[in-house]
């Protein structure tokens, strides 16, 4: 994970994020919901960290068709 994401960032497990296309969709959904928020994606562990509200991030990913859980 990147050092650019604050420790207070939302951390989500997105098990159905499995490829580069999924990563692009995740980043796009989060960019719409939390504009200009730093986002870090680890496809290997299916973990997404975003500087912003965890519930807003979870709802955005859910609306994009993913099944995220806050960790």
DSSP class of 15: T
Which of 2-11, 32-41, 59-68 shows the lowest mean pLDDT across its residues?
Answer: 2-11
Give the CATH number for residue 37.
Answer: 3.30.70.100
In tens, the pLDDT along 21-46 reads: 999 999 999 999 999 999 999 999 99
Q: What is the pTM of this model?
A: 0.87
**Is 4 a domain residue?**
no
**Is 2 a domain residue?**
no
**Is 3 a domain residue?**
no
Average pLDDT for the chain: 92
Q: CA 55, 45, 16 angle in degrees (round to 5)?
A: 65
Phi/psi of residue 59, nearest 5 degrees: -65, -40
**Is 1 a domain residue?**
no
**Is 26 a domain residue?**
yes
**Is 45 a domain residue?**
yes
Identify the pLDDT of residue 28: 98
**Domain span at 42:** 10-70
Q: Calculate mean pLDDT across residues 41-64.
A: 97
Identify the pLDDT of residue 7: 56
Number of structural domains (the chain) is: 1
- Is the Cα torsion angle 3, 5, 11, 12 positive or negative in sign? negative
């Amino acid at each position: 994970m990147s050092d650019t994401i604050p420790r207070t960032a939302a951390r989500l497990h997105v098990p159905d994020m499995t490829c580069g296309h999924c990563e692009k969709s995740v980043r796009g959904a989060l960019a719409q919901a939390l504009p200009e928020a730093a986002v870090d994606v680890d496809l290997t562990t299916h973990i997404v960290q975003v500087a912003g509200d965890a519930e807003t991030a979870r709802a955005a990913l859910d609306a994009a068709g993913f099944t995220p859980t806050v960790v």
